[in-house]
Structure 1
Amino acid sequence: MPDTAMPLPPSAGEATTRPRRRLIVVAPWPYHPACGIGGGVLCFELLRRLAHRFSIHFLCFDQVPHDREAGLRALGALCDSVTMVPLPAAEGGLADKWGQLSQVPLRLPREARGMRSPAMAAALSRLARQWQPDAVLLQFPQMAQYADDAAGAPVVVDVQDAALVSRFREWRSTEGVARRLTRLVAWLAWFRYELHWYARADGLVALSDNDHGVLRSFFPDRPCLLSPVAAEPRHLPPRGRDGYAAFIGNFDHAPNRDALEWLLGTIWPMVRRAMPSLELHIAGPGIPAWAADEARDGVVIRGFVESLDDFYGAARVALVPYRFGGGTKIKALDAMARGCPVVATPIGAEGLGVTPGVEMEVAGDAVGFGAAVLRLCQDEGAAMRLAEAAHRHLARHFSWDSKVALLAGMLEEIGATRREGAALTPPAG
Structure 2
Amino acid sequence: MRLLAISWQPLSPVHSGYRQRVVELYGELAKRMEVLVIVPGDSGGAPFARDVQTPSSWRGSLPKGRLWETFSPGFREEAAKIAREWKPDRVLAEGLWAVSAAKSAAQATGVPLGITVQNIEYLSARGIYPPPIPSALRVYERRVYRRADWLVAITEEERETLHEVLGGKCPPILVVPNGTTTPSSPPEKIRVEQIRKSWGIRPEEEVVLFLGNMNYPPNLKGLAWFSKEVYPLLPKEASGVRWIAVGEPIPSEPVHPFEFVGFMGDLDAACAAADVAISPIRHGSGTSIKVLDLLGRGLPIVATPESIRGLAGTENAGVRVGGTPNEFAHRLLELLKNEGERERQGVL
Q: What is the deviation of 1:122?
A: 0.9
Q: Which runs of 5+ in 1 are unaligned?
A: 1-20, 63-67, 100-108, 172-181, 390-429
CA deviation vs aligned residue, 1:284-339 (integer Å, no higher than 9, x gap) = 11232112x63xx5x32211112111111111111111110000011100000000
Bigger-Rg structure (1/2): 1
1:270-285 matched pairs, under 5 angstroms: 270-271=233-234, 273-285=236-248
Letter in 2 for 1:123: E
Identity %: 27
Counterpart in 2 of 1:49? 28
Counterpart in 2 of 1:83? 52
Quick check: which one's helix share is greater?
1
Q: Does 1:342 align with 2:301?
A: yes
Q: 4+ runs of 1 displaced by more than 6 Å?
A: 236-241
1:50-69 matched pairs, under 5 angstroms: 50-62=29-41, 68=42
After superposition, the Cα gap between the structure-2 partners of 1:41 and 1:272, relative to the gap in structure 1 and judged at 3 Å, is farther
Question: Which of 361, 379, 383 pairs up with 2:342?
Answer: 383
- Greater relative contact order (CA < 8 Å, ≥ 6 in sequence): 1
* Partner SS state of residue 130, structure 2: helix
After superposition, the Cα gap between the structure-2 partners of 1:184 and 1:110, relative to the gap in structure 1 and judged at 3 Å, is farther
Q: Does 1:159 align with 2:117?
A: yes
- In structure 1, what is the Cα distance between the partners aligned to 2:314 and 2:172? 30
Q: Does 1:231 align with 2:201?
A: no
* Partner SS state of residue 230, structure 1: coil
Q: CA RMSD in A?
A: 2.7
After superposition, the Cα gap between the structure-2 partners of 1:90 and 1:383, relative to the gap in structure 1 and judged at 3 Å, is same
Q: What is the deviation of 1:214?
A: 0.9
Question: Which of 75, 79, 100 pairs up with 1:120?
Answer: 75
Q: Which runs of 5+ in 2 are unaligned?
A: 193-202
User: TM-score, with normalisation over the residues of structure 1?
Assistant: 0.70
CA deviation vs aligned residue, 1:176-235 (integer Å, no higher than 9, x gap) = xxxxxx522221221122111111211111112332211122335411112111123335
> Do 1:144 and 1:157's aligned partners in 2 also have CA atoms closer than 8 Å?
yes
Letter in 2 for 1:161: N
After superposition, the Cα gap between the structure-2 partners of 1:273 and 1:143, relative to the gap in structure 1 and judged at 3 Å, is farther
1:12-411 matched pairs, under 5 angstroms: 21-32=1-12, 34-62=13-41, 68=42, 71-73=43-45, 75=46, 77-79=47-49, 81-86=50-55, 89-90=58-59, 92=61, 113=68, 115-149=70-104, 150=106, 151=108, 152-168=110-126, 170=127, 183-219=130-166, 220=168, 221-234=170-183, 235=185, 242-271=205-234, 273-291=236-254, 294=256, 297=257, 299-354=258-313, 356=315, 359-389=318-348
- In structure 2, what is the Cα distance between the partners aligned to 1:60 and 1:339? 33
Q: How many residues align?
A: 329
- In structure 2, what is the Cα distance between the partners aligned to 1:242 and 1:58? 44
- In structure 1, what is the Cα distance between the partners aligned to 2:337 and 2:176? 36
User: TM-score, with normalisation over the residues of structure 2?
Assistant: 0.85
* Partner SS state of residue 208, structure 2: strand
- In structure 2, what is the Cα distance between the partners aligned to 1:241 and 1:231? 31
